[in-house]
Structure 1
């Protein structure tokens, strides 16, 4: 198979200013490029903002993002698009496509006449990519990752635009089967629906001696629990704190470390105080992805108390470090946590239920090596092979129909 030229399109892609943003998209692309069969350029638009003054917080990072940069040997462009207040949700696909159009044309003018557009996140990114695919007459694949199909379609106009984009796409990819069931339920052709799960970097995420990691990080706890993700309600860190409050009644040495930053920080701190576990809860703020293996290795269990997830990367990352998980039984999570050595699934998203499942997991004394072996079944190779086969088929069909 000749080397394919792939244009990766997504607002979910890291930059030098936001190195952890959408790192799962970058990881999948890097693994694909390792095959030697794909050449890629990335167009990762960011909303226009007038000032990079730090007082504007996250908004300032939009302005500070370079127009073009190299990340891990990949050429990445960050064109600006207008994200209007209040009406931005419905107008974003068009402004996103218009903002990116010149950057895409410039790639072609420089000699990168790509074979396929590979878009990530169905809305607004996938809809914008469908417009670009139409304008540039290119085949398109769109990967669904979670809230783009399990939350956003609750809004009528975005749902209609998602359905249009799915009809325009040569293939839709879900990181879990549950997401493709949404499109199947809407009547889309099952032959164009594919499941290519995320993998885990088994080199980066591997077990380190728990005692050494606790000493290095300055943490302790019996048990030591971990909750990782943006500090937003959907991630359920408040449920993890409620679970801790139940667990300490029997195991007063229990501790919870929450890694992430976001709007819920003050509320989570107040909740820990109200439940009397403020001294047992530590919020680290956001940490580089490269630091996470130490924390996973230090912990006895990871708690993921989300209300929605497509395919939660933190689950595999934790298991690859030998640490089992306790997670809400939703969407793609049962596809990740499928055996006892992986962890436990929780039907009810409340503190008492998570506490009971955590106690059960800890009592089982799961062998760290068994958890690691389970995670080793989720390397990136199968996903890379699936992408190569899919892109090859899509581009051959496009040439045939031209």
Structure 2
């Protein structure tokens, strides 16, 4: 039996069912493997008591300290955070989790720690592993390296955790290169691709009917991602005047929502832009089913789950040269990699709309990404770290 402690600050809860859903799906697949026991710590960062009056924090504070989530045993210890001072969150999380995990370990006897996001999970996992004598793996997903790995207050913590970890995971080979550039040991980094549920994400029998079910007609473009500047939703909107008759769906929430609405109004395309807000993962297959092209002009990525889900639904992509884009789009039918300009985006979309590839050939690019394969590779990696320690 391999006993794994997974630490995941990105993990769903009742107030945020889609938050870190990819981590939950990976962890469920891991726990389903034979001779594998997984305990999840999904810590909740909360500000000082006065700050918790905001509805967002009140809802998090009301969550149970422990619950079953999709069949997993999930612990939700609280730790203090200081909004706007993320550099302090690694040490604060470590201080809170050290005694908590030590108590669990006396009862459950973990073999290995699996940290699922580099910051603040990684530095906390290293501190716990040292205290308890356990090997530690840390997974990098993109923003944790590209932002926290370069942020003045946290960059040192990220680099030290990367050098101290027994093993490291990267969601793409491109991200692995970025980790090595930060000084992390290349020999310890394994590329660990995401998965996709190929039974749920599949080409529709009738894409026109899928459009009608959403009140749509004509070409449909779908962009899935947080409404933050680096995702490039503004570039997608700026491309729309060059794509007459096309409708752009944007699924996500974030601080750029008002600016994106204003931009669409200014460009005269507000009637062809739908900001859908945060969508539950269960709603995404229907959105992909209605789309002709998936679109995301990110400044940086690891390897976006939304990319893989789009391909699995037979929807070709137009994406920027970010993260694992070239690892995913390994055939012309899968889509186009373009410069982050409205002109380049519009030209690539127009080309795909004029000569769309067969959905089955698009889907073929996603068929190597499955959750069972992802879980088996993760288990082998973690078991290898235990064996290397003589466990």
Whether the TM-score (by the shorter chain) exceeds 0.5 is yes
Structure 1 residue 59 displacement after superposition = 3.2
Secondary structure (helix, strand or coil) at the match of 1:357 reads helix
**Correspondent of 2:268 among 272, 276, 301:** 276
- Equivalent of residue 280 in structure 2, options 283, 288, 311: 288
CA distance in 2, matches of 1:82, 1:309: 28
Q: Is the contact made by 2:47 and 2:81 (CA closer than 8 Å) also made in structure 1?
A: no
SS in 2 for 1:206: coil
State how far apart, in whole Å, the 2-side matches of 1:190 and 1:264 are: 36
Provide, for residues 70-124 of structure 1, a one-character-per-residue CA deviation record: whole Å limited to 9, x for no partner: 11110111111111144x3221111111222343233224x32111000011122
In the aligned structure 1, how far is the partner of 2:164 from the partner of 2:257?
A: 41
Q: Are 2:44 and 1:46 aligned?
A: yes
Whether the 8 Å CA contact 1:97–1:129 is kept in 2: the answer is yes
Alignment partner, residue 300 of structure 1: 292
Residue 54 of structure 1 deviates from its aligned partner by 10
Deviation at 1:183, TM superposition (A): 3.0
Task: Report what 1:160 is aligned to.
Answer: 156
State how far apart, in whole Å, the 2-side matches of 1:178 and 1:65 are.
37
Instruction: Give the aligned partner of residue 219 of structure 1.
Output: 216
Q: Tell me the matched-pair count.
A: 390
User: Residues of 2 paired with 1:260 and 1:60: CA distance?
Assistant: 22
Q: 1:138 to 1:378 in 2, by over 3 A?
A: same
1:115 alignment counterpart: 111
Asked if residue 327 in structure 1 is aligned to residue 319 in structure 2, the reply is yes
Partner of 1:363: 354
Map Cα deviations across residues 33-80 of structure 1 (whole Å, 9 max, x no partner).
Answer: 222231101001111246799983533332233211111110111111
In structure 1, C-alpha distance between the alignment counterparts of 2:371 and 2:163, rounded to whole Å: 28
In structure 2, distance between residues paired with 1:398 and 1:365: 52
- Conservation of the 8 A alpha-carbon contact between 1:82 and 1:95: yes
Question: What root-mean-square deviation, in Å, do the aligned CA atoms of Structure 1 and Structure 2 show?
Answer: 2.0
> Is contact 2:48–2:81 with CA below 8 Å preserved after alignment?
no
1:326 is displaced (CA, Å) by 0.6
Which secondary structure does the structure 2 equivalent of 1:84 belong to?
Answer: coil
Structure 1 residue 240: deviation in Å? 0.9
Residue of structure 2 aligned with 1:210, choices 207, 211, 218? 207
Q: Do the aligned residues in 1 keep the contact of 2:211 with 2:290 (CA within 8 Å)?
A: yes
CA distance in 2, matches of 1:373, 1:396: 36
1:392 and 1:369, CA in 2 relative to 1: closer, same or farther beyond 3 A? same
Which sections of structure 2, spanning at least 5 residues, go unmatched?
none
- Rounded to whole Å, the distance in 2 between the matches of 1:85 and 1:63 is 16
- Is 2:347 the counterpart of 1:350? no
| 1:227-279 CA distance string (max 9 Å, x none) | 1111111111111111112212xxxx211111111111111111011000011
Cα-to-partner distance string for 1:354-390 (whole Å, 9 max, x where unaligned) = 1011112222211111112221122233322322221
- 1:2-401 equivalences under 5 Å are 3-49=1-47, 56-86=54-84, 88-109=85-106, 111-208=107-204, 209-220=206-217, 222-248=218-244, 253-346=245-338, 348-399=339-390
Residues 114-164 of structure 1 show CA distances to partners (whole Å, capped at 9, x for unaligned) of: 110000111221111111111222110000000111222223442221121
Give me the whole-angstrom Cα distance separating, in 2, the residues matched to 1:52 and 1:235. 33
SS in 2 for 1:377: coil
Shift of 1:205: 1.1
SS at match of 2:149: helix
Change (3 A) 1:57 1:223: farther
Structure 2 Cα separation of the partners of residues 53 and 295 of structure 1 = 37
Question: How far apart are the structure 2 equivalents of 1:5 and 1:299?
Answer: 42
